[in-house]
Amino acid sequence: MKGKITGYFSEHYGLLEFKLRETDKDHQLAVFHTRDAHVFGKKAYKMRDPIWKKVPAGLNIYFDAREMKKGFRGVKYHVRKPNDSWDHVASHIS
């Protein structure tokens, strides 16, 4: 999928917006963990600068999102690596 970084909750969690289909008018929101962000194949969290400088708000990105069992505050999806479960994320950022 293709989307755009909206901002960050903390140094560990960020938010992005995307459309499920190109014809959709409404944007969906997804949460992501900053340890899953890569810049040119390198893990972004291992670089010197804070994540919001390396992967700034407004940046267009490609990602894989899955729907959470229990959404919160308008966020219904999470970006994850295959075989990871992020249904616990709501308790950390709500």
Give mean pLDDT in consecutive 10-residue pieces for the chain, a chain of 94 residues: 89 88 83 82 80 87 82 80 48 45
Q: Are 1 and 63 in contact (CB under 8 A)?
A: yes
What is the structure's pLDDT at 7?
Answer: 92
Query: What is the number of structural domains in the chain?
Result: 1
- What DSSP character marks residue 80? -
* Prediction pTM value: 0.72
- Closest among 51, 28, 25 to 39, alpha carbons compared: 51
Domain carrying residue 32 = 2-93
- Cα distance between residue 1 and residue 64, in whole Å: 6
